[in-house]
Chain A
Amino acid sequence: MKWGETIGMGHLARLEKIATLRPARRLLLFSGTGFMPQLEEAARRSAGRIQLIGLDRLYESD
């Protein structure tokens, strides 16, 4: 969760490392500014495992 940082693959790698210690069905990444295209691509290919939550999704989706 970062407010002022665009979230990228580095953030994902860190979360994946944590997930090896404590297995998780889903990885949620939040950002107030947005996500790097590469990460967005990774999320698309993850079959829902990687969830990117920006402000629009936070405020608008169900």
Chain B
Amino acid sequence: MIDKPSDMFDRDGEWAQLSRFVTSTFERATLGVVSGRRRQGKTFLLQAMCEATGGFYFGASEVVPKPEALRQLGDALREFTGSPAAYRFQDWGQAIDTLLALATDRPIPVVLDEFPYLARESKELPSVIQNALAPRRTQRLASRARLLLCGSSISFMSELLAGQAPLRGRAGLELIVATFDFRVAAEYWGLRDRRLAALVYFVLGGTPAYRAEQLDGETPQRVEEFDDWVIGHVLNPANPLFREVRMLLAERSFQTSFTTPRPARATRSTWRPSAPMANSSRWAR
């Protein structure tokens, strides 16, 4: 079991699962899937694991065309290995094999964070990974990589492994990083007054990033301060929390649009997108 970093609150269960997966002595490359809503600390968890074990972390920043995504991955790999030569990938097959080759003598995590961004522009990616991890393939048997695909869209991530999907039955880990429940949240917020803890939970729920990012650590300490705190922070148009609900809903519909089956190429000209916002850039091309 790898020691949990001291700046990580709770998440003992998640850390233990990840740790077990990453250090497993299984003598071949393995696959894991990590999902969870935004701002729950997935990336924090994965980066901490990579730091602790010398693993490779790549986070796709947004949806970019495939050649650009492969170039960004190449840059990250070059930084990781310190190789003088650049990595130039023609396709995902080469890229995945290079990732597998990072771990030949010992198991290390190899993380592709924000995987849905990558898969959105490269529909073949799940099949490519399936082929790369075919049971008797030499590159798989030679590798100890613990390949971790991560994403915020829980539906997208679980569909990766479901039904007829190429990666079905391939994953040795399927971890969901959940929001804190009300008791853990109270501890995280440092609220001893039960009434205050419940009030704050009613407003913010158990999303840890709100304290650190949106509120700069400003939380009410006494129940008498609660009303002013709500007015000053949550209902303050200059605070990102003010628009958070709308953002969450928008994110949700954006993510749903990932997983809605698209019509086949031949029928595109007659098909009218029903969600113009999320899809407009695709259809403009």
**Chain A interface (Cβ < 8 Å from any Cβ of B):** 32, 55-56, 58-59
Contacts and interface: CB of A to CB of B under 8 A. Distances in A.
B197 interface: yes
A59 B186 CA distance: 9
B243 interface: no
Given A32-B195, A59-B183, 7 more contacts: A55-B195, A55-B198, A56-B194, A58-B198, A59-B182, A59-B197, A59-B198
Contacts of A56: 194
Contacts of A59: 182-183, 186, 194, 197-198
Interface residues of B, number: 7
Nearest to A33: B195
6 contacts: A32-B195, A32-B198, A55-B198, A58-B194, A59-B182, A59-B194
A59 to B, nearest CB: 5
A57 to B, nearest CB: 10
A24 B52 CA distance: 52
Contacts of B194: 55-56, 58-59
Contacts of B183: 59
Nearest to B187: A59
Q: Select the residue from B182, B194, B195, B197 with max chain A CB neighbours within 10 A.
A: B194
Interface in B179-208: 182-183, 186, 194-195, 197-198
A55 B182 CA distance: 11
B169 to A, nearest CB: 37
A32 B199 CA distance: 10
Contacts of B197: 59
A5 B161 CA distance: 48
A58 B182 CA distance: 9
A55 B194 CA distance: 6
Q: Select the residue from A32, A55, A58, A59 with max chain B CB neighbours within 10 A.
A: A59
A21 B182 CA distance: 33
Contacts of B198: 32, 55, 58-59
A55 B191 CA distance: 13
A56 B193 CA distance: 10
B193 to A, nearest CB: 9
A58 B181 CA distance: 12
A55 B198 CA distance: 8
Interface string B47-63: 00000000000000000
A4 to B, nearest CB: 10
Contacts of B186: 59
A32 B182 CA distance: 14
Nearest to A56: B194
